[in-house]
Amino acid sequence: MSGETMNDTRELKLAPATQARYATHRRQFEHWCSERERPMNECSAKAYILEKAPQVSKAWILQARSAIGHFYQFTDPDCTCWECVCGKAHRLAIDPTATRMLTDNEVRDILQDIDMVRLRTDTAAEDAKASRDACIISLIRANDLRGGQILELNRSDWSGINEMALSCRLGDHVVKRRRDTPTLDPVARLEDWCRFVHDGPLFRKIERWGSIGDRRLHHRSLGIIVKKRVEPLGYATDLISPESFRKPR
Number of C-alpha atoms within 13 angstroms, CB side, residue 166? 1
Do 190 and 158 form a contact (C-beta atoms < 8 A)? yes
Distance CA 118, CA 130 (A): 6
**Range from 146-150, 160-164, 177-181, 227-231 carrying the lowest mean pLDDT:** 160-164
Distance CA 154, CA 7 (A): 50
Percent of the chain with pLDDT over 70: 83
Compute the residue count for the chain. Answer: 249
pLDDT for position 90 = 65
The total of other beta-carbon atoms located within 10 Å of residue 76's CB is 14
Give, as one character, the DSSP assignment of residue 93.
S
pLDDT for position 11 = 46
CATH domain 104-245 topology: hpI Integrase; Chain A (1.10.443)
Domain range list for the chain: 9-92, 104-245
- Three-state secondary structure call for residue 235: coil
**Res. 78: pLDDT tops 60:** no
Confidence of residue 201 (pLDDT cuts 50, 70, 90): very high
- Comparing CA positions, the residue from 48, 39, 121 lying closest to residue 86 is 48
If you write DSSP's letter for every residue of 7-35 in order, what string do you get? --GGGS---HHHHHHHHHHHHHHHHHHHH
What would the pLDDT profile of 26-52 be if each residue is shown by its tens digit? 888 999 999 899 988 888 888 888 888
Confidence of residue 1 (pLDDT cuts 50, 70, 90): very low
Confidence of residue 129 (pLDDT cuts 50, 70, 90): very high
**Res. 187: pLDDT tops 60:** yes
**Res. 162: pLDDT tops 50:** yes
Distance CA 136, CA 131 (A): 9
- Three-state secondary structure call for residue 221: helix
The better pLDDT of the pair 158, 1 is held by 158
